[in-house]
A and B are shown apart, each in its own frame.
Chain A
């Protein structure tokens, strides 16, 4: 993906910035400017808190080009607390330790780098929430 194209997406990738529909209240990610529920214009930014649960997952053994260095890795559909679902890798997790319904939290990690001299793409992945001590 080009430098400009990745750069346009940084608010979404770094801070999970989507939209809220001022008409029906639905939270939207990724932002799409027209509410998928009520079709009203929806451009008010909304930052998701990064918590959600695993809706489905799969471990990728044969990675697409550019991601081979990370294989094997687990990808998931994550349903965010506020409603929308997104697609992301899971991280800091053992492949056989993942369950549907598992709570997860967003972290920012390396997604991709274009060789040794291209830019590094950072973005959201999800992991099991850290345990805090009592």
Chain B
């Protein structure tokens, strides 16, 4: 088992890329990442993606992206775990390097969501849920999260408006991130007036449909310094799973998969939540952000929203989240988001986050969730040379 480091990162802007196909999106991010380091070669490539088949009529992305990126013949495969595909691909890349089976591994998360109608894309997103017993009942993925949010509000006595700080924080940070999709601020009043999609989830409560790709290059830690001016060590990489269907959960209001994943990661890194300087969590919906804070040990059960209400989630707070806009405002090109999160943690640890810089960021955590909590992958990253 070897220590693994990230030597290069790259990303495209998140948005509606009418001119750019899925293979071009992946290429853009991959090339940016390869330029970010002195990469001698790529031994294997892992492509994280959820919906290329449904929305682009294209599976088999591993070989496709490898060939398109000038890596024909390289080991390459697509990794899928719904909206957790990005970090899942990173996990597999990590295993390859840590296990000594590859030295330089490229991971790219890519998603192209805007080619089909909103209704078609919404239907495709429901593939993350239980097809036979959730999606078939007429539930969109938003509806699944709405059921969660309403129960959470009922059990812990919150109003819908109490979730506003998650959106306000994300949008504030996104205005300083050139790669983010949205550059407008959100106010609590605007949040309160926002149009309902599936009550209690409103337009300003849920992440957008968009296109994007992000990439990361991995190498053994003991040679990373020679390949990168600012290598970042992967201190932990851990996965936890849970039931797909919300109705099958032990307790729908506890993300057991996220808790398992976080606990495994903390154990690997030998740290506790108090040691974490920033947490790029999976804020596809504000309820997911609240539950993620609780599952990862940053808040007691039922108090995740309290953390946001008490103004602790900003870049200078106790637990900075969505520091570059998060899934909400940077955007959520579903299979790519997990890699965007890691790119952003790297930016923070390198001190290149600009106006969004978390002071003295040394240890950062990224957690990517598939579905409503069924596959959760957590990475903890650490500055090297400390």
Question: Are A9 and B126 also in contact (CB < 8 A) when A56-B147, A63-B140, A77-B247 are?
Answer: no
Contacts of B136 in A (CB 8 A): 1, 9, 111-112, 121, 123
Query: Which of B123, B137, B151, B201: most chain A CB closer than 10 A?
Result: B137
Instruction: Judge if A88 is at the interface, Cβ distance under 8 Å.
Output: yes
Once the chains are docked, how many angstroms separate the CA of A36 from the CA of B249? 10
Question: Are A77 and B138 also in contact (CB < 8 A) when A9-B132, A61-B196, A65-B122 are?
Answer: no
Once the chains are docked, how many angstroms separate the CA of A86 from the CA of B120? 25
Q: How far is the CB of A62 from chain B (nearest CB, A)?
A: 5
Pick from A55, A59, A111: contact of B199, CB under 8 Å = A59
Closest A-chain residue to B132, C-beta based? A9
Instruction: Judge if B133 is at the interface, Cβ distance under 8 Å.
Output: yes
Contact B199 A36 (CB under 8 A): no
Query: Which of A77, A84, A100: most chain B CB closer than 10 A?
Result: A77
Contact A55 B119 (CB under 8 A): no
| Majority DSSP secondary structure for residues of A touching B | strand
Once the chains are docked, how many angstroms separate the CA of A63 from the CA of B138? 7
Contact B150 A58 (CB under 8 A): yes
Once the chains are docked, how many angstroms separate the CA of A85 from the CA of B248? 7
Pick from B123, B143, B154, B246: contact of A66, CB under 8 Å = B123
Closest B-chain residue to A86, C-beta based? B247
Once the chains are docked, how many angstroms separate the CA of A62 from the CA of B197? 6
Q: Which of A54-95 contact B (CB under 8 A)?
A: 55-68, 70, 73, 75-77, 84-89
Instruction: Judge if A30 is at the interface, Cβ distance under 8 Å.
Output: yes
Contact B138 A70 (CB under 8 A): yes
Query: Which of B132, B144, B149: most chain A CB closer than 10 A?
Result: B132
Contacts of B139 in A (CB 8 A): 60, 64, 75, 87
Q: A-facing mask of B237-248, CB < 8 A → 1, else 0?
A: 000000001111
Contacts of B151 in A (CB 8 A): 55-56, 77, 100
Instruction: Judge if B146 is at the interface, Cβ distance under 8 Å.
Output: yes
Contact A64 B150 (CB under 8 A): no
Contacts of B126 in A (CB 8 A): 64
Contacts of A9 in B (CB 8 A): 132, 136
Once the chains are docked, how many angstroms separate the CA of A70 from the CA of B140? 13
Pick from B122, B132, B147, B245: contact of A75, CB under 8 Å = B147
Contact B252 A59 (CB under 8 A): no
Q: Which of B121-141 contact A (CB under 8 A)?
A: 122-123, 126, 130-140
Q: B-facing mask of A90-110, CB < 8 A → 1, else 0?
A: 000000000010000000000
Contact B198 A62 (CB under 8 A): yes
Contact A65 B198 (CB under 8 A): no
Q: How far is the CB of B243 from chain A (nearest CB, A)?
A: 8
Once the chains are docked, how many angstroms separate the CA of A65 from the CA of B122? 8
Closest A-chain residue to B140, C-beta based? A64
Instruction: Judge if B148 is at the interface, Cβ distance under 8 Å.
Output: yes
Contacts of A66 in B (CB 8 A): 123, 138
Q: How far is the CB of A95 from chain B (nearest CB, A)?
A: 8
Contact B123 A75 (CB under 8 A): no
Contacts of A67 in B (CB 8 A): 138
Contact B138 A57 (CB under 8 A): no
Question: Are A61 and B198 also in contact (CB < 8 A) when A87-B247, A111-B137 are?
Answer: yes
Contact B138 A56 (CB under 8 A): no
Closest A-chain residue to B146, C-beta based? A58
Once the chains are docked, how many angstroms separate the CA of A111 from the CA of B134? 12
Closest A-chain residue to B133, C-beta based? A30
Once the chains are docked, how many angstroms separate the CA of A5 from the CA of B136? 11
Once the chains are docked, how many angstroms separate the CA of A65 from the CA of B117? 10
With A61-B196, A111-B138 known, 19 other A-B pairs at CB within 8 A are A5-B132, A9-B132, A56-B150, A56-B154, A57-B150, A59-B198, A60-B143, A61-B198, A64-B138, A66-B138, A67-B138, A85-B247, A85-B252, A87-B147, A88-B137, A89-B138, A100-B150, A111-B137, A123-B137
A-B contact pairs, 19 of them (CB 8 A): A9-B136, A57-B150, A58-B147, A58-B198, A59-B196, A60-B139, A62-B142, A62-B197, A62-B198, A65-B120, A65-B122, A75-B139, A77-B246, A85-B247, A87-B139, A87-B245, A87-B247, A88-B137, A89-B137
* A contact set with B: CB distance below 8 Å: 1, 5, 9, 30, 36, 55-68, 70, 73, 75-77, 84-89, 100, 111-112, 121, 123
Closest 10 CB pairs of A and B: A58-B146, A56-B151, A85-B247, A65-B123, A67-B138, A56-B147, A64-B140, A64-B123, A65-B119, A58-B198
